[in-house]
Structure 1
Amino acid sequence: MSSYQPPLRDELKGIEPYGAPQLDVPVQLNVNENPYGPSEATVRDIADSVARAAATLNRYPDREFTELRRELAGYLTPDSGSTPIAPEMVWAANGSNEVMLQLLQAFGGPGRTALSFAPTYSMYPEYARDTNTTWIAGTREEDFSLDLEKARDLIAEVRPSVVLLPSPNNPTGTALDPKAIAVIAEALGDSGVLVVDEAYGEFRRDGVPSALELLSTYDNLIVTRTMSKAFAGAGLRLGYLAAHPAITDAIRVVRLPYHLSAVTQAAALAALRHREELLAKVDELRQERDALVAWLRGQGHQVADSDANYVFFGTFPDRHAVWQGLLDRGVLIRETGPDGWLRVSVGTPEEMTAFKNALLEVVTP
């Protein structure tokens, strides 16, 4: 084979592709998956639904995925306060990653800027890069909150067309103060959109509101969700958003034709029919998370408040050594975020026990 070098874009040369380690170890707590799979009844419904869709694969799917948008709207409405979510306010794609990319295709691009506040999700700058959007990262406070005065000043300075804010934040797990959403949406005005990424929104603690409640107040607000986490659908690859209908109409301009296959639509609709069962473990995972936070703090570790299904803890002079020590004991977590910090997903009680025992062996309290 020759040493052929394709004419790659200059800014992509030497870049390693994104990806968390996929290692075959007994306890995998590194990518925030739901550790509880679907029941046999759900599996059968998904399989039957996909089989029916397979009989029509000679035809293109519903490119507007009308039924799926209606069902997703119904699912989101209880979190939206007094204003129902209409189907025309909903958009879906192959994972929330594709939703984000479509948003940057529509509202970013050459001569435009995307803004977030570090530490934050490591894929955001890659979405910007892939769409030729200028990327700027502000900073968070020591407790990973936002200084709203500084945020407002930075928005006025760089005039971003897109602001990306996860709530809960990834990797820290901290939720946004609703006041922050209001301040930033107002600071952007008509010149930009605010994307609140609620990929882990179902795991937020009692009393923590969803940004969906503010959709009727701010036309430039977009709230994204996914079926990968709370719905235990990481392999399904279905992400979605709720926003003003003008925003969903704009995305239709940049989406590829028939981007959601008939098989994906069928599987997602089947999963939504079993939402109560699939979401039943969310409360257990929240309790397990809160217990893990308390345990880690009891061991003397610094731990960020978490409204997600993961916990961010530290700090370690050599975090890689801690990560490797856990891996050597069959426990895989994530080395991400600021130096010194580690992130562990919340698993089953047995997996949490394995993690705690391994950490006690690796780190002397």
Structure 2
Amino acid sequence: MSSLESLPIRDDLRGKTPYGAPQKTVPVALNVNENTHPIPEVVARDIVTALASAVLGANRYPDREFSALRDSLAGYLGHGLSRDNIWAANGSNEVLQQALQAFGGPGRTLLGFAPTYSMYSLLASGTGTTWLAAERDAEYELSPATAAAAVAKAQPDIVFLCSPNNPTGTPLALDTIKAVYDATDGIVVVDEAYVEFAPHDIPSALTLLPGRERLLVSRTMSKAFAFAGIRVGYLAADPAVTDALRLVRLPYHLSALTQAAATAALAHSDAMLAMVDDIRVQRDRITAGLTQLGFHAYRSHSNFVLFGGVENPHALFEALLERGILIRDIGLPGQLRVTAGTEAETTAFLDAMAAIGSKP
């Protein structure tokens, strides 16, 4: 059997490792920022009904323009958006990949602010785009001055801003987004995968879209809508951007089943988002509990908490795993990340942390 090294793979892919997190069957899985709350039964029934109807026409290709889904997404987002402003794909990773296929590529650069979502550099590599990593301020914050200075120095073709940031949970002020946009003639993508978990009074980057034709705001249904297994991501932008993405998408890239399930779920957005309120409570419980135990919990507007002050992250990770609790070691020295789950899952995590302490 041949090995990867023996294949004529692209030179820029040699030595790379694929994205991935540990996949283990445990009672409490809090490692990949999933919404651990089940989809409400009334919503699930409507989704199943929509899927059954879609299956009857599965012998035909799906709507290439996924018009009904785009209408539903525009209605959910509001802000005066219409289907012309909306694009969707199989998870926000594919949305971001298509943005790089359209606006990046060989000879072009993508700037992000590390530490940030590890898929950004992998998507850059996969599309032949050069990845540039700029530094953040203390506590993983990102001020307008710091961000604009990095953009002015690097002059990238594309900037990715994660708001709130993954893996740190750090919120991003609109002033920082505006400063970045004004500092470049390139594309600016604001990744709001976790934005629904922010406080209600925090404005979205969607408010910045009017008059900014180079601004793209990416979202996902994986997190707040508990749709991680369905794979639906989307973005809002100037209609010219969606025209650009049509040039690189695969034909019929969103299946009829995906479109049906997502449209049905969006019809119940209030019920789906009711879960978010409880997740915010659990996130804040984790922050308070870890602080009480002597750890440093970083400011988070997401559904997870990054915490430092861990003497031996690997040992603590393994000690929790022995108790049936899986969290995430993201490779930051002295730090680990935990997803906010249900009340019972959060209690299990905090009880285990109290029993183990920082020195397992």
- Same fold? TM cut 0.5: yes
Structure 1 partner of 2:11: 10
TM-fit CA distance, 1:317: 2.9
Are the counterparts in 1 of residues 293 and 357 from structure 2 also a CA contact under 8 Å?
no
The range that moved more, 148-157 or 105-114, is: 148-157
- The residue identity in structure 1 corresponding to 2:316 is V
- The residue identity in structure 1 corresponding to 2:284 is D
Structure 2 partner of 1:316: 310
Change over 3 Å in CA distance of 1:2–1:96 after alignment to 2: closer
Q: Does 2:42 match 1:41?
A: yes
Q: Does 2:120 match 1:124?
A: yes
TM-fit CA distance, 1:240: 0.2
TM-fit CA distance, 1:309: 0.5
TM-fit CA distance, 1:87: 1.1
Q: Does 2:98 match 1:102?
A: yes
SS in structure 1 of the partner of residue 138 of structure 2: coil
Are the counterparts in 1 of residues 295 and 310 from structure 2 also a CA contact under 8 Å?
no
Structure 2 partner of 1:26: 27
Gaps of 5+ in 2: none
Are the counterparts in 1 of residues 329 and 335 from structure 2 also a CA contact under 8 Å?
yes
| Count of residues paired in the alignment | 358
1:165-180 matches, within 5 Å, as: 165-180=161-176
Are the counterparts in 2 of residues 120 and 337 from structure 1 also a CA contact under 8 Å?
no
1:243 to 231, 237, 244: 237
Structure 2 partner of 1:285: 279
Q: For the residues of structure 1 that align with 2:243 and 2:3, how far apart are their CA atoms?
A: 45
The range that moved more, 113-122 or 54-63, is: 54-63
1:169-318 matches, within 5 Å, as: 169-188=165-184, 191-318=185-312
Q: For the residues of structure 2 that align with 1:8 and 1:69, how far apart are their CA atoms?
A: 37
SS in structure 2 of the partner of residue 281 of structure 1: helix
Q: Deviations over 1:276-318 (max 9, x none)?
A: 2111111111112112211211222111111001011012232
SS in structure 1 of the partner of residue 206 of structure 2: helix
Q: For the residues of structure 2 that align with 1:39 and 1:147, how far apart are their CA atoms?
A: 39
Structure 2 partner of 1:67: 68
SS in structure 2 of the partner of residue 137 of structure 1: strand
TM-fit CA distance, 1:364: 4.6
Where has structure 1 moved over 4 Å in runs of 4 or more?
A: 1-4
1:157 to 153, 161, 184: 153
TM-fit CA distance, 1:152: 2.1
Q: For the residues of structure 2 that align with 1:3 and 1:15, how far apart are their CA atoms?
A: 14
Q: For the residues of structure 1 that align with 2:110 and 2:148, how far apart are their CA atoms?
A: 15
Gaps of 5+ in 1: none
TM-fit CA distance, 1:218: 2.0
Q: For the residues of structure 2 that align with 1:360 and 1:298, how far apart are their CA atoms?
A: 10
Q: Deviations over 1:160-209 (max 9, x none)?
A: 11100111100111110111011001111xx3111110001100013211
- The residue identity in structure 1 corresponding to 2:95 is V
Kindly report the root-mean-square deviation, in angstroms, between the aligned alpha carbons of the 2 structures: 1.4
SS in structure 2 of the partner of residue 280 of structure 1: helix
